[in-house]
Structure 1
Amino acid sequence: MKKYISTLFILFAAMSMNAQQNVSFRTGKLVSPQVNADNTVTFRIQAPKAKNVKVIADWEANKGTGIMKKDKEGVWTYTTPKLPSEMYTYRFDVDGITGIDPTNPFTRRDVGNVFSIFYVGNGCADEYQVHDVAHGQIRTLWYHSNSANTDRRMNIYLPPTYGKTDEKFPVFYLLHGSGGDENAWLELGNIARIMDNLIAEKKCKPMIVVMPNGNIAKKAAAGETFENQNYKPVMTNFLPHFKDGTFETAFPEIVDYIDATFNTKADKAHRAIAGLSMGGLHSVMISANYPDLFDYVGLFSAGVNFKDIDMEAFPAYSNLDAKLATQAKKGVKLYWIAIGKEDQHLNNNKLLMERMDKDGLKYTYHESSRGHIWSNWRQYALLFIPQLFK
């Protein structure tokens, strides 16, 4: 039994070994995943001594689970139903031990877990992939936060024409959710590819996209600073300053840094802010506290559960109705709220909209299928971004 468990560990650990070992490990005829012409996908893994193997994924059919069958060669296989166009994440479960697909080199980290990925095309996922178009730049920068009394890391997307002339650009601040970091929208959201493709297709204005780290207790993503090289990412609610308004209050220093560093159109009409889950809560509070900063606000499955916040204990959260009323009076060009029918935050978002109705703040509402999931957030970005800076 110990030998069998060790074999499984080696199977899933092989992806982290050196390059020569990876090459030898992937030789052979085994193909997984295999995206078929009819948008079904076939998975394969060789585990001759295993008793039960399944693939666990984020597609909707069969609740994202596929029971695999073993052939006489010890290869386990499963083919999905026809899948909608998307980027999907998955892992194998071999007798209770989960790991990535050892024949698939493409992975993404979500919080503290790593998943294999694949794309099903002929739809929205086409926007998530690299095409032969002009490409923007990704710059990783450190800015000094006076509020946190430290340097903090952020990622910036610059459109393809940035720097070729003296042209100034609008700025879109895009915020991650709990457990995420400044890399989340690049890695799981594919936002650089989305921007390249939408700009090339003339579906949106060229813009700068700013992705800061919303975990104010951390300087950067795991492994990006000396003191957190061994830090395993966790949900933000396990970190200091969760839902106390520190990040929201300090946000203007990010805006000031961006305006001082890049060729921006530094006014309300040319700034947007949006975020998923926790980032949606941040977007509500930042735009309400600073109503002269943003003309466009987007909430993607916003984590607006105000019942677990002592609203009056923190200045950034206090007097929310008065702040929303002021925001309404000063005006926004677009306040866009999107959430899935199965999302755990659906009712809280409806309560927020009732509050906004009373405070006179107009919004546009989009309700999709499914729940609190990256496939929704990427699609919300595809819908929201073309509406900006019109």
Structure 2
Amino acid sequence: MKKIFFLSFFLLTALTTYAQQALWGGAPVVSPEIHDDNTVTFRLKAPKAVKVQVTGDFLPPIPIQTPRGVWDAAGIADLKEGKDGVWEYTTPEPLGPELYSYSFIVDGLKMLDPANVYINRDVATVTNIFIIDGGRADLYKVNDVPHGTVRRMWYNSPTLKKERRVTVYTPAGYETSGKRYPVFYLLHGSGGDEEAWMALGRTSQILDNLIAQGKAEPMIVVMTNGNAAQEAAPGESKEGFIVPTMTPQDSKEVNQGAFETAFPDVVKFIDKTFHTKADKHHRAIAGLSMGSFHSGNISRLYPDMFDYVGLFSGTPNTKSNPDVPAYADFDGRLKTQFAKKPALYYIACGRTDFVYKSVTDYRKLLDTNGYKYEYYESDGGHIWRNWRVYLTEFAPKLFK
């Protein structure tokens, strides 16, 4: 009887342990493992696999020719199979401080690392992430500093005739200070939405840390959805769980200046809903790629709305479609904008970015006309690593 009891007990214990691992997602391996010297080991248990690779932005990029120019794709490295079917790869050199993303490729099938629960979505691509501490990357972490509040809200856009969602960051102490704050409108790129700058750009962490260090003024940051035909991010609207694409829904509507024309709708909502300093001198607008196109054209279309303008990896040049009302009279409106002497007109771009030439050409246009701007050039291309850097450089320059 005792033998039967103990056998039953051990079977029950084993089954319970197995069930708990399944319930809590117990990982059979550690991955990624960040070593003391900042080399990193990636592991995947795949005993039946023939070939396992890791792809990520910590590896040397692979240049890919696209219709829009050369694009830097994430590099690829092979894992080696070891004991018990566990495949492993360790970076040959330490990684510098940064937020990195990666995925596995198993026999040609791309997949997430089952040992790492931390992921980001960029358009329709989902990847794992990890951070190497130190330097600028410490701004991307949640540190022991006062934290702001992030709200997902809906506002009515009479111009677009729909309810739309917006993400709003308010700095630590906003709810109790009784003060009014300047507002920074931060716009995403093609395929993005009102979640992009929060998840991929680490906006709340960056602002929390810069404000706590006294390097940036306490400010409200508004992250809109730049797709005029879209109510909200995929999965967050009545469209349901649609597949995210680079040109969501009716992209023609976006291309025809609808978003730019309707932008005062969200500004009015923010000024009505939050404790803002509702004037040009206390408003900034910036964006990446498509968001830089939007930022440049919105600030040109409404020259009395924003005193600070940031163009990250892009330009507002619309001379190819001058018949669109929002883009008409490019040179005249640009002249009017600079005649009003914006406090800061900021341009940033990577040296290997496929938009580098168009950015250089736009800078020549500004130089020819004597329009003052500030330029920041970095390594790398059209990537979030650069856009996080540009945000950390741009935000401290605002509202001084």
Would the aligned equivalents of 1:111 and 1:235 in 2 still touch at CA under 8 Å? yes
1:318 CA drift (Å): 1.4
Q: Does 1:364 align with 2:363?
A: no
Deviations 1:11-60 (A, max 9, x none): xxxxxxxx9675454343x1000111212111000111111111000125
Paired AA for residue 348 in structure 1: S
Question: How many aligned positions are there?
Answer: 368
1:272 CA drift (Å): 0.5
Q: Percent identity?
A: 49
Distance 1:22 1:341 in 2: 47
Structure 2 unaligned runs (5+)?
A: 1-18, 63-74
Of 150, 153, 157 in structure 1, the residue corresponding to residue 169 of structure 2 is: 157
Would the aligned equivalents of 1:194 and 1:382 in 2 still touch at CA under 8 Å? yes
1:69 CA drift (Å): 0.7
SS of equivalent to 2:322: helix
Of 245, 265, 269 in structure 1, the residue corresponding to residue 277 of structure 2 is: 265
Distance 1:335 1:39 in 2: 38
Partner of 2:330: 320
Of 220, 231, 247 in structure 1, the residue corresponding to residue 242 of structure 2 is: 231
Would the aligned equivalents of 1:276 and 1:300 in 2 still touch at CA under 8 Å? yes
Going from structure 1 to structure 2, the CA distance change for 1:169 and 1:69 (only over 3 Å counts) comes to same
SS of equivalent to 1:344: coil
Paired AA for residue 149 in structure 2: Q
Q: Does 1:296 align with 2:295?
A: no
Q: Does 1:26 align with 2:37?
A: no
SS of equivalent to 2:366: helix
Single out whichever of 235-244 and 168-177 deviates more from structure 2: 235-244
Deviations 1:110-144 (A, max 9, x none): 00111100001112111111111111101111110
Partner of 2:257: 245
SS of equivalent to 2:259: helix
Of 349, 366, 389 in structure 2, the residue corresponding to residue 379 of structure 1 is: 389
1:361 CA drift (Å): 2.1
SS of equivalent to 2:352: coil
Going from structure 1 to structure 2, the CA distance change for 1:368 and 1:163 (only over 3 Å counts) comes to same
SS of equivalent to 2:360: helix
Would the aligned equivalents of 1:108 and 1:115 in 2 still touch at CA under 8 Å? yes
Structure 1 unaligned runs (5+)?
A: 1-18
Distance 1:371 1:62 in 2: 10
Paired AA for residue 300 in structure 2: A
Partner of 1:75: 86
Paired AA for residue 368 in structure 1: S
SS of equivalent to 1:91: strand
Of 138, 141, 147 in structure 1, the residue corresponding to residue 150 of structure 2 is: 138
Partner of 1:178: 190
Q: Does 1:147 align with 2:147?
A: no
TM-score using structure 2 length: 0.89
Paired AA for residue 48 in structure 1: P
Partner of 2:360: 350
Deviations 1:226-269 (A, max 9, x none): 2x212111113763413211101111111111111111111111
Distance 2:121 2:315 in 1: 21
Paired AA for residue 52 in structure 2: V
1:358 CA drift (Å): 3.1
Would the aligned equivalents of 1:176 and 1:214 in 2 still touch at CA under 8 Å? yes
Partner of 2:111: 99
Would the aligned equivalents of 2:344 and 2:374 in 1 still touch at CA under 8 Å? yes
Distance 1:96 1:375 in 2: 26
Instruction: Please say which structure displays the higher CA radius of gyration.
Output: 2
Paired AA for residue 214 in structure 1: G
Going from structure 1 to structure 2, the CA distance change for 1:62 and 1:251 (only over 3 Å counts) comes to closer
Partner of 1:40: 39
Distance 1:311 1:278 in 2: 16
Distance 1:216 1:95 in 2: 40
Single out whichever of 69-78 and 279-288 deviates more from structure 2: 69-78
1:62 CA drift (Å): 6.1
